Structure 1
Amino acid sequence: MSAWTTRVPITTTVVVPQLHDPVLLAKALATADRLCDGRLTVGLGVGGREEDYAAVGADWSTRRIADLEHRVRTMQRVWAGENLTGATLPVGPPPHRPGGPSLLIGSHGRRTAASAAGWADGLAGMSLDLDLAATAELFDVAREAWSAARRPAPRLTTSFWFALAETSDDPRGQIHRHLRHYMNWIPPEFVDAMAPASGFAGSVDELREVLAGFAEIGADEVQLIPTSDDPRQVAVLAGALS
């Protein structure tokens, strides 16, 4: 992506630092930041699947925001040029931007979002059911927490799954099938219960209205998560939303 574009922001949502060595993760993210000339934003969260922790031998008990912050602070020290390993030189490369890439807290919980005000630049939210009121409330929590921490106003982003009527004969079914695959660690009956109200399934015109609603509550960015590998949906979105 960084090699093919020069202006498109590049965002990861979300990386779980507890699944990585923080020094090596800092090195990898700094390398990516340099490759894209500082366009990288990193969403960070604690994750929700015990299987992910088990797969890499990570301790599930570290799934806490305090442990995440500790690892973030370590990465920030690496990006600042501190020598944390005792080697001849600090771990490099230095990131493109002083201090490292922009960091967002990946959460849709009020307490988690507020607790990250000391180190995050904003919020990487997720709207399961396009509830504007709930998203607006979370945005207000972030604004208040960042203000109390004497930080610049937070960058407020959210995301949701989508399927377009213009590229699918059954957009709601498309989302349902995607969630059955994506959430395969959850009992199917729970996925089936949530699928009818999850994400956006409809026309481009209807999507414009949804996005206008998020803009009205102050979203700086909305990330649309595809539920199909059909490349036509990208072209349809680009033409309709540009």
Structure 2
Amino acid sequence: MKFGLGLPIDDPARLTHWARRADEGPFSTIGLLDRLAYDNPEPLVTLSLLAGATSRVRVQTEVLLAPLHSTALLAKQTATLDRLSDGRFTLGIGVGGREDDCRAAGIDLHRRGRRLDEQMALLCRAWSGAPYGHGVGPIGPLPARPGGPEVLFGGFAPAALDRVGRFGDGFLGAALPPRYMTGMFRAVEAVWEKWERPGSPRLVAQVNVALGPDDTVDRARRQMGDYYAFTGRADQMTDGMLTTAHAVREAAAAFADIGTDELMLYCWTSDPDQIDRVADAMN
């Protein structure tokens, strides 16, 4: 099982330092979340910078809320990032669920799933090099990976899982412990078979971590609690944050047992010493 590092959002100026240290360490991927009406760096712009500052790790949106984005521009941005990173880009993608984001983007909250389905058909067409639509030629550049960047779908609704079989390369599940995530993984595998896809889907899980002194852990809990306040269960989610090396190792073993291909360890505060602490916890 591989290990990725989720990047904090509270101090964007530090992210290049985080990315370089992750690139030098044992991590396979660096990931960055997406919001619109929130104090976070825009993920595609930021990951483009981080791809240029690294040479080995993959760069991943975790997850990009595609319905908030212009489809044609998103096709161009993602293909460009994949091309410039020499195929190191993974498009983690989902619909989101925050009304203020949808209002800011001018889209209907209740149509975001249908919009994503429409977007995926257009994205796949653009990434193939085919004309984008009637009276519109191809949208370049072609991505480094034939057919487009790797796509992982996030979400827990049946429609989200079905998109893995229809359009994706795998599934990215967040904030569920292994005893529940195993059911999601098996459901994704069933969908993959239903759509008669060859091979098997990539199965990626995410856990939230904060390793370090009390002020680092407390700040991480506040950041995560603010981010998930809209759910009405932020306290429950922050209670699941892993705050010791032992807890990280136990979780890693449990996720490995259910067939996880990669475990993303998401950090919620920009204390850079966490990078070494998380790396040590993996050993």
| TM-score, length basis structure 1 | 0.87
- Which deviations, in whole Å up to 9, do the C-alpha atoms of 1:9-32 show, x marking residues without a partner? 111111122111211100000000
Quote the Cα distance in structure 1 between the aligned partners of 2:138 and 2:237: 48
Q: What CA distance in whole angstroms lies between the structure 2 residues aligned with 1:6 and 1:173?
A: 33
Q: Distance in 2 between matches of 1:186 and 1:115?
A: 24
- Identify the structure with the greater helix proportion: 2
- CA distance in 1 between partners of 2:181 and 2:90 (Å): 21
Question: Which residue of the partner structure matches residue 140 of structure 1?
Answer: 186
From the superposition, tell whether residues 56 and 111 of structure 1 become closer, same or farther in structure 2 (CA, over 3 Å): closer
Q: Does 1:179 align with 2:224?
A: yes
Q: Contact between 1:110 and 1:138, CA under 8 Å: does it hold in 2?
A: no
Once superposed, what is the RMSD of the aligned Cα atoms? 2.0
Q: Which has the larger radius of gyration?
A: 1
- Corresponding residue for residue 105 of structure 1: 153
1:93-242 pair list within 5 angstroms: 93-128=141-176, 131-151=177-197, 152-164=199-211, 167-169=212-214, 173-185=218-230, 190-192=233-235, 194-195=236-237, 197-201=239-243, 203-241=244-282
Match of 1:7 in 2: 56
Matched, 1:54 2:103: yes
Paired with 1:170 and 1:110, the residues of 2 have a C-alpha distance of 39
Residue 153 to residue 228, structure 1, CA distance change in 2 (3 Å): same
Match of 1:79 among 127, 135, 140: 127
Question: Aligned partners of 1:204, 1:133: CA distance in 2, in Å?
Answer: 20
Give TM-score, length-normalised by structure 2: 0.75
1:44 pairs with 2:87: no
Q: Which runs of 5+ in 1 are unaligned?
A: none
Q: Which runs of 5+ in 2 are unaligned?
A: 1-49
Q: Identify the structure with bigger relative contact order (alpha carbons < 8 Å, sequence gap 6+).
A: 2
Change (3 A) 1:24 1:204: same
The code of the aligned residue for 1:20 comes to H
Distance 1:108 1:175 in 2: 25
